Amino acid sequence: MAHPGDKLTDQPPPGGVKLGAFQLLEPLATGAMARVWRGVHRRSGLPVAVKVMTGEVARAPAYALAFRNEAEAVARLRHQAIVPVYDFGDVSVSTARQSDGAVEAGVPYLVMELAAEGSLDRGHVPSHWQALKSLLLALLGGLGHAHARGVIHRDLKPGNVLVTRDGCGARRFKLADFGLAHARRDDAVGVQHASWAASGTPSFMAPEQFKGEWRDQGPWTDLYALGCLAYALVTGRPPFQYDELQQLAHAHLREAPPRLQTDYEVAHGFEGWVSVLLAKTPEDRFLRAADAR
């Protein structure tokens, strides 16, 4: 029987693990705060990805409340550039027992569309201007949809842009992992504190995230991250690269990014557009995704 705090095993029992209406089949990836599983909806056979939170923070009551608020907000999003959320909940004791330690009882999980082709950090990087423009416009469309409904992503990076195919076989890019997003609502404010506000991926974090000023974060925070992403897509690296977190924080807060050096021709004014996204203070950036579009 699995108990909270038990070390997770690498594989579920043969045949998978029942989780509500779904079956966990095999782990796809493990991060600092979650493990992603390949799964299937048992009745329809629909392939899914299931993100199961891990670690001590996943069992904290404040985190569970924040996760549920976020999951409810994200589940209401309906946009072609956002990975849809099908279900969410907490792992039951019976599921934990079946898993032989592969998942813990009581931790939150999120069921999403399975993006079989991976993410931008596993390839699929645009190789010419029109492809880059199409990708950035798609992401801005998804961000605008989320922002208009009170949801801020807070962790936009290549690994959170997933790749799927439409019915004609064309590639589609979708925003995923709103686990660090929160609905900007009064009932979410009570569980916010500095450790939440400073969460994100340092190479793509806005200055206000490094400061832990969550009240100053908004759509413009995601647009800064989009600027970092756009910079990385055309140069092969984010604007600032340091081994120490303190150095990265200083760079995002104080340093101007190096000039863009691209392997292919981009539109006139693109570097200026990126520089607006990367402005140190929110009021100097585009304030809405529609403005950036």
Active site residues: 155
Phi, psi values for residue 174, rounded to 5°: -135, 140
Give the residue ranges of DSSP H helices in the chain: 61-75, 93-99, 129-148, 186-189, 194-197, 207-210, 219-235, 245-254, 270-277, 289-292
Considering only CA atoms, give the Rg of the chain: 19
* Residue-wise DSSP of 181-213: -EE-SHHHHTT--HHHHT-S-GGG--HHHHTT-
What single-letter amino acid sits at 226?
A: L
> Which of these, 280, 270, 282, lies nearest to 233 by C-alpha position?
270
Q: What tokens does 46 get?
A: 């629909």
Question: Half-sphere exposure (CA, 13 Å, Cβ side) for 174?
Answer: 27
Cβ–Cβ contacts within 10 Å for residue 284, how many? 12
